Amino acid sequence: MKKDMRQVNLRVEDMPARWYNIIPDLPEPLPPPEGDMTAMGKGMIKECLDQEFSPDNWIDIPEELQETYRQIGRPRPVFRATNLEKRLDTPAELYYKAEGLFSPTGSHKINTALAQAYYARKQGLERLVTETGAGQWGTALSCAARITGLAATVYWVRAVHRWKEARRLFMELYGAEVFASPSENTETGRGLLKKDPDHPGSLAIAISEGLEDALSDDKAAYVLGSVLNHVLLHQTIIGLECKKQMEAIDRYPDVVVSCLGGGSNFGGIALPFLGDALKKGTRTRFIAAQTQAAPNLQGEYRYDNADYSGITPRLKMYTLGHQKDMPPVYGDGLRYHGCSPILRLLRNKGYIDTVAYPTDEKYVFESAKVFLSEEGFLPAPESAYSIAAAIDQADECRKSGEKKVILFNVSGHGFMDMEGYRQVLQV
C-alpha cells in the first residue's frame, strides 16, 4: 500500500497481455447483422473480422504490439482526484484514468489504431482508410499507420475540419492524406456537395466515403475507430489496467463513468467491470455521459446502418436514425447516431444508465474547468462530459453521505481544443 493514493500505476511489465472479449459472457447472443456483408467484409482487415465474432473470452495481444503499446506510454496511471473531492466537499472517492492525457495523439483511440495497423501489415496491406469526427481518431490512425509503416487516408467531417487546422497539420505531419468530407473524392461526397456545396458532413457520411475509397483499392482496408466489437475489444486494455490498479489499492468501483459516442472509450473502461457484473453479480453502476445532440442510448432500439448511405450492414442498436441531422457540438466525438451493439444490448438489459447534457455545453465545459483548476490537467471536450457526470455522482454522494468509489475515464486531452473552451466559456 502506498503512502498516499494520488497516483497508482502498474509496473511496465505488468501491463495486461490479453484483451477481454465480453461476447461469450453476454446475457443473450448479439442479434446478427442484417443485410449485405460483402462490402464491409471485403473492406475489413481479416484478423479484425475474426475478432468481431470471436467466441473466446481472452485474446492475446501479440508481443510486438505490446512493445508498441509500451512505446506510446502504456500502462497509463490512475489518479485519485483528491483536490476535486475537497472542492466538491464529497465523501466519495474520485479516481480517474489518465487515458488520453498522456497519449501521443491526444486520446485513447491509439489503442485500437495500433492493433488494426499491426494486423493490416501482417496481412500484407499497404494503406488504411478511415473517417474522423472530432479528429482524435484520424490522428490516432495517422500515427499508428506511420509507426507501423503503412499509408493513411482520412475523411474528416467538414464542420470540424474547418476549424481544427492544427489537428489537420498534425495528421499530415504523420504523413496522412486528409480530405474534408463530403469530398470530391467519392460518389457519395460528390452527390452531397452538388446539393449543398457547404455541407457540414457527419460521421456517417465520412464512413460512407472511406468505405467507397477503400473498396476501390486491393491493398487498402477500411478501419473504424468505434462501434464495432473488435474496436471495443482492443480498448478493454484501459479497464483491465484500471482493475489491476484499483486492486493494488484495495478498491473496487461502485460507479464507472465515461462519455459515449460510438462506445469505444466507454466500453474500454467499462467492459472488464461489466464482465464482473455479468459473471459475479457485482453491483457497479455504469453511467454513459452523452450530448443531447446525439443521445443515441435514448433512441429507438432497432436495426439501423452504421453509415449515412447504407453501405454497411444493419446492426441492432439504439439509434436516432442513420440520416439524422445533429446540431454541431465541440464534443464532436459524441455526435453519432448509433452505438456499439454490445453496449446497446447491455443497456437494454438494464446494466447501463445514461445521462445527456445540453448542446450549449456550458455545464460540461464548466465542469472541465473545475477539474483543470483542481487537478491541473486539461481535458478534451468529449472527456468534459465524463467529468461532468462524475461530478454529478460526487454531488449525489455529498447529499446522501455515501462514500462511493467513483472511477471515470479522461479519454482525451484538450491541448488542441482551446477554441471550444474559448467559445463556450467566453474566456
Asked if 102 touches a second copy (CB under 8 A), the answer is: yes
Asked if 12 touches a second copy (CB under 8 A), the answer is: yes
Asked if 416 touches a second copy (CB under 8 A), the answer is: yes
Asked if 121 touches a second copy (CB under 8 A), the answer is: no
Interacting residues with a second copy between 194 and 253 (CB under 8 A): none
Q: How far is the CB of 261 from a second copy (least distance, A)?
A: 22
Q: How far is the CB of 191 from a second copy (least distance, A)?
A: 31
Nearer to a second copy, 82 or 292 (CB): 82
Asked if 366 touches a second copy (CB under 8 A), the answer is: no
Asked if 375 touches a second copy (CB under 8 A), the answer is: yes
What's the Cα-to-Cα distance from 417 to each of 106, 158, 359, rounded to whole Å?
10, 16, 17
Among 24, 123, 163, 173, binds a second copy (CB under 8 A): 173
Nearer to a second copy, 15 or 345 (CB): 15
Nearer to a second copy, 66 or 292 (CB): 66
Q: How far is the CB of 330 from a second copy (least distance, A)?
A: 14
Among 48, 128, 129, 143, binds a second copy (CB under 8 A): 143
Asked if 376 touches a second copy (CB under 8 A), the answer is: yes
Asked if 2 touches a second copy (CB under 8 A), the answer is: yes
Asked if 363 touches a second copy (CB under 8 A), the answer is: no
Q: How far is the CB of 119 from a second copy (least distance, A)?
A: 18
Three-class DSSP labels, the chain? CCCCCCEECCCHHHCCCEEECCHHHCCCCCCCCECCCHHHHHHCCHHHHHHHCCCCCEEECCHHHHHHHHHCCCCCCEEECHHHHHHHCCCCEEEEECCCCCCCCCECCHHHHHHHHHHHHHCCCCEEEEEECCCHHHHHHHHHHHHHCCEEEEEEEHHHHCCCHHHHHHHHHCCCEEEEECCCCCHHHHHHHHHCCCCCCCHHHHHHHHHHHHHCCCCEEECCCCCCHHHHHHHHHHHHHHHHHHHHCCCCCCEEEEECCCCHHHHHHHHHHHHHHHHHCCCCEEEEEEECCCCHHHCEEEEEECCCCCCCCEEEEEECCCCCCCCCCCCHHHCCCCCCHHHHHHHHCCCEEEEEECCCCHHHHHHHHHHHHHHCCCECHHHHHHHHHHHHHHHHHHHHCCCCEEEEECCEECCCCHHHHHHHHCC
Nearer to a second copy, 223 or 297 (CB): 223
Among 8, 59, 320, 384, binds a second copy (CB under 8 A): 8
Q: How far is the CB of 75 from a second copy (least distance, A)?
A: 9
Asked if 422 touches a second copy (CB under 8 A), the answer is: yes
Among 18, 121, 146, 398, binds a second copy (CB under 8 A): 146
Residues engaged in binding a second copy (CB under 8 A): 2-4, 6-9, 11-13, 67, 70-73, 77, 79, 82-83, 98, 101-102, 104-106, 110, 143, 146-147, 165-166, 169-170, 172-175, 369, 372-378, 413, 415-416, 418-419, 421-422, 425, 427
